[in-house]
Amino acid sequence: MAPSIAVASTAQTKPGHRLKAAEAEVELRRRNEELEMELKRSTEREERMREELVRAWKRVTVAEEAEELLCRQLGELEAEAVEQAREYRTQILELMRQLSYAKQLLQ
């Protein structure tokens, strides 16, 4: 047997009960409208947060790409600096050799 709910007919209830039922119905309708408004505000807030999250994600993506570019550039500069250091070392060694030779000539 399926469960059932008994609903009193307003024609069978006393006038005081009908008034209370009408007030309860009005209160339920008012509360329902409040809940619908709150749901709408919540949905709008959720949409704004979603849009903000998308904007933040885009900023993070741009920052990551910039970081990768800077790392590549830094790597290139480091390689160039190492190459220059090697060249300077070679030049310094050559100058030291020449100075040593000049010193030997002077002696």
pLDDT tens profile 31-66:
999 999 999 999 999 999 999 999 999 999 999 999
Q: Angle at CA 106, nearest 5°, toward 94 and 99? A: 15
Query: Residue 18, exposed/middle/buried by CB under 10 A (0-12, 13-18, 19+)?
Result: middle
Task: List, as one string, the DSSP characters of 26-79.
Answer: HHHHHHHHHHHHHHHHHHHHHHHHHHHHHHHHHHHHHHHHHHHHHHHHHHHHHH
Identify which of 85, 104, 82 has the alpha carbon closest to the alpha carbon of residue 93.
85
pLDDT tens profile 59-103:
999 999 999 999 999 999 999 999 999 999 999 999 999 999 999
